[in-house]
Amino acid sequence: MMTERAEVSGPVDAFRQFFSLERDVLVLSLAMFAFSLGFQMTNRFLSEYLVYLGATAVVVGAFATLGNVIGAVYPYYGGIVSDRVGSRYALTVFGFLSAIGFGIWLLAAYVPAIDLGVVTLEPWVWVFVGLLLAQCWKSFGIGGHYAIVKQATEPGRLARGFASTETFRRTAFLIAPLIVAVLVADDLMPGFLWVLAIGIVFALLGTILQHYLYEADEDSVGSEFEGLSRILADLRALPEPLRPLLVADTFVRFANGMVYAFFILVITQLMEIGLTLSVPAVGTIDLAPAAFFGVLLGVEMTVALLTMAPAAKVAEYTGLKPVVGLGFLVYAAFPIVLIFAPENVWVLVALFAFSGLRFAGLPAHKALIVGPAERGAGGRVTGSYYLVRGAVVIPSGLLGGALWEFATPETSFGVASAVGMVGVVYFAIFGQEFEAYR
């Protein structure tokens, strides 16, 4: 268990606190690590994979929109399934479905276009089908993760509690793109096919790990969500401090949703910039643009891991609101700064390091979401919050893709930053502090 004496001032301390968690929470988090590794190895590069399979920018945007739909609706259906069959078996089923999803992504490269007369099924269609399955496990864990941390942490140290689990989980986010960078060093294909194969392995390992080690007798994850019949009641019951946060967060996430899938295309399609380094005793390393994007993601996550725990500690002195606001500001500013950046390797490295600061506010953000909830209601509050945010954000990817293709990429990214800044200003004016941090 996390205790009120636990100190988290850096990544090492965050890891130490993480490993003091209860066995079931630890097992679920280890499984989350495995799935995060597989998903991050694949998901951030799927836009380029779609283009390789013949997709347009609108199709890439539609793919992002489908991801938003899944993120909005899956947690509730996952909760219903868990209530029926139990957490352990639900997690196992969702894990295997995720592994199948990764497999469909892999097979898409080998499936030719299928002419049905009225319409032709292009190979990229199967990437959409795979997404429906690949996100099954990921979508289930949101509410349970929030509820577990809330139950195991003192109210005034919620940000530290989330920093511990996030630091561990997001280590996978650091490792994953670096693995991809090695495998696609010369070009996206065929290295990315090996990436997908490795993703399948990690999904299966995570599934097996949680099935045999997770003991759900005392766990309440499966009962945190009570189905669609409670949605309206849960929305009406959202604590007052959450409402301005939800409005601001929705603007910021809508902005991010417009451009998130296109970050890789800025590097690989617009700038077409790779990385060439001379390393003593190794020689010259020449990375293709897709591999360089993997390095940039590694830089981004390194900054995130180094700043999340200190920012959570700072929040205990400044309150949660300033730290959350900083994260929102980085989210909003990054798109327009990136699209107009000079085509210089080190400028891009600096920009993605700046982007990593958005994760510094993540533990404080999560604490601000679940903190005001009544004890034992963290999962429902979180589910309601994410349902509203996810539902509004659904069309963002398609809008971003349409602006990219029918206007200009600069227009798409500029509009995204403008939308995000609305959220930043709204939160600065109307955002409320969690009482325990006053």
Residue 66 has pLDDT above 60, yes or no: yes
How many angstroms separate the CA atoms of 214 and 212, rounded? Answer: 6
Other CB atoms within 10 A of residue 111 CB:
15
Closest CA to 367 of 438, 303, 437: 437
Contact 80, 219 (CB under 8 A): no
Percent of the chain at pLDDT exceeding 90:
42
Domains of the chain plus CATH, in order, are 11-217+227-437 (1.20.1250.20)
Token readout for 226 is 């009570």
Other CB atoms within 10 A of residue 233 CB:
11
Closest CA to 363 of 37, 70, 8, 74: 8
Residue 222 has pLDDT above 50, yes or no: no
Range name among 3-17, 94-108, 182-196, 356-370 with the lowest pLDDT average: 3-17
Q: What is the pTM of this model?
A: 0.84
pLDDT of residue 435: 58
How many angstroms separate the CA atoms of 401 and 272, rounded? Answer: 19
How many angstroms separate the CA atoms of 263 and 259, rounded? Answer: 7
**Look-up: residue for tokens 């502090």?**
433
Residue 372 has pLDDT above 90, yes or no: no
- Calculate mean pLDDT across residues 183-208: 89
What tens digit of pLDDT does each residue of 270-328 get? 999 998 887 777 677 888 999 999 999 999 999 988 888 788 788 878 888 898 999 99
Euclidean distance between the first and the last CA atom of the chain, given in angstroms as a whole number: 25
Residue 4 has pLDDT above 50, yes or no: no
Contact 340, 207 (CB under 8 A): no
What tens digit of pLDDT does each residue of 92-138 get? 888 899 999 999 999 999 999 998 888 889 999 999 999 999 988 77
pLDDT of residue 311: 85
For 341, residues 6+ apart whose C-beta sits below 8 A from its C-beta are: 347, 348, 351
pLDDT of residue 151: 57
